[in-house]
Amino acid sequence: MLQQPIAAYAETNITTTRPMPRRQGLRRLATAAEILVGPGVLAMLGENDGPSMLSYATSGASYGLGFFLPFILLTFAAAYVVQEMAMRLGAVTGRGYGELVFQRFGRWWGWISVGDLVLTNLVTLITEVIAIRIGMGFFGVPAWGAVLCAVALVAAGSWGSRYSRWERLCAGLAVFNAAFIGVAWYAHPQASAVASSIATWSPLPDAAPAMFLMLVVSNIGATVTPWMLFFQQSASVDKGMTARDIRRGRQNTAAGAVLAAITGCAAFVAATPLFDNHVDMSQYLDGAGFAEALLPLIGQHGAGLFALGLIEAGAIAMLTISASSAYAVGEVVQGAGRSFDLSPKNAPLFHGTNIGVAILAGAVVLLPGAPLMQIALNANLLATILMPAALVFLLIMSNDKMVMGPYVNSRWCNRLGVAIAVLVAVAGSTYAIVGFLGALGVAVN
């Protein structure tokens, strides 16, 4: 049963909302900056993290142009629907996802939700460090140096005690996500083939069901993940968004979805020369060394851009995913500070979690013989498996009039949300069943 403090807070927040601080000066430029810099863009581009870009590249290298290109676009459309709900829930209530789950569903489900998030985030952060290690390795940086840079970046995000400073750091890094567009340019794809792939979803891949389903589920987990709910909602609160800012929040989230979809598809297209030339990726860093594999096909500049793109993808995700862990832990511990506007002295648990999970992830990556590509793909699989429960909580809270007042989901939003939850659940379950039958030696055609 809903606890009264949430309802009272939501009603107050709706009726006495305050506008977000606006920059003075050229109004159009300020408006564009507000749309392009915010939790929505950061969450979406954070979704284009190391394992996501490796998943898109693996799809392109394994099957070429065809089914997966329009499928990736579909997953970003689904991500927008989910993240718009999270943004709206945070703006109206002024509370993060974890805190609302605790108060709406009780401590048991609250701890389950946070536990799932922390586990998924740790695995995902390991893959982000892997991406940074692979990208820097292309330029000759040793593994320990790459790990040190990754951890130092997260620590730098905690320094300064300002959310706006942390947000600008993320936005500055996010610009380099466009490096994958340059790689796609060097791959020289045929515009007609790309357009045909998007319009017809063909050719359909002729492949073993297990491999095909693994990439389907991995690509879903690359865009629709539990951490984004915690981050988008909590960052919206930390930024100071209220119900009056929902329209701007939608624009920000939509802009992020478009930008992330373009760069995600670019990473896919960039790897298609590997499919066209029948390159065996297992020879390159256990399937993860795309820059080295692409070097003889697209040249030094294109391969270098791919490596830089991986570094950027891992870097921005290190910042956003570690932050989502810090927000979640801070929200469930009563009296703990949970904002980048608070100093480490005033919010030791928040900043300690933010940096601590990054250190732990870096330590795991330095273990000798770690299967880099398998860890990266399975991180997305884990996100897909854990996502349906988070979506159910999100839908229930977004439809609760005591929490949302007049800002509850529309009928179409509910239909799309339920469809996304079913799609994610069916994809994850189907892959699990096929994998189980394969382990028993049952052939699945």
With DSSP H G I counted as helix, E B as strand and the rest as coil, what are the percentages for the chain, rounded to 5? 80, 0, 20
Distance between CA atoms of residues 131 and 325, nearest Å: 20
Mean pLDDT by 10 residues, the chain (445 residues): 44 42 52 65 84 88 89 93 93 86 82 79 86 88 91 83 78 84 90 88 72 84 81 86 89 91 93 88 65 89 90 88 84 72 82 88 81 69 80 91 90 93 86 67 56
pLDDT of residue 48: 85
All structural domains of the chain: 39-409 (1.10.4160.10)
Query: Is this model's pTM higher than 0.75 or not?
Result: yes
Cβ(324)–Cβ(230) under 8 Å?
A: yes
Q: What is the rounded end-to-end Cα distance, in angstroms, of the chain? A: 47
**Beta carbons within 8 Å of 410's beta carbon, 6+ residues apart:** none
User: Cis ω on the peptide bond leading into residue 203 (within 30° of 0)?
Assistant: yes
Single-letter amino acid code for the residue at 116: D
Q: Residue 44: which residues within 8 A CB-CB, separation 6 or more?
A: 76, 79, 80, 83, 253, 256, 257, 259, 260
| Closest of 114, 123, 149 to residue 49, by C-alpha | 123
What is the length of the chain?
445
Helices (H), 139-225: 143-158, 163-174, 179-187, 191-200, 209-221
Contact 421, 392 (CB under 8 A): yes
For residue 39, which of 232, 225, 227 has the smallest C-alpha distance? Answer: 232
Report the phi/psi class of residue 73: left, alpha or beta, with left for phi > 0 and alpha for psi in -120 to 50: alpha
Which residues, including other chains, have CB under 8 Å from residue 269's CB and lie 6 or more apart?
A: 60, 65, 69, 184, 187, 189, 194
Contact present, 417 and 399 (Cβ < 8 Å): no
Is residue 80 within 8 Å of residue 416, measured between CB atoms? Answer: no
What is residue 33's predicted lDDT score, i.e. its pLDDT? 56
Predicted confidence at residue 29, as pLDDT, reads 54
> What pLDDT shows up at residue 419?
93
Q: What is the number of helices (H) and of strands (E) in the chain? A: 20, 0
Report pLDDT for 148: 93
CA 207 to chain centre: 27
Backbone phi, then psi, for 343, in 5-degree steps? -75, 160
Please answer whether residues 224 and 424 qualify as being in contact, where contact means their C-beta atoms are separated by less than 8 angstroms. yes
Q: What angle do CA 99, 47, 347 make, to 5 degrees?
A: 40
**Whole-angstrom Cα distance, residue 225 to residue 387?**
6
- Residue 1 confidence (pLDDT): 39
285: left (phi over 0), alpha (psi -120 to 50) or beta: left
How many CA atoms lie less than 13 Å away from 162 in the CB half-sphere? 7
Q: What is the pLDDT of residue 270?
A: 92
Token digits for 195? 């357009």
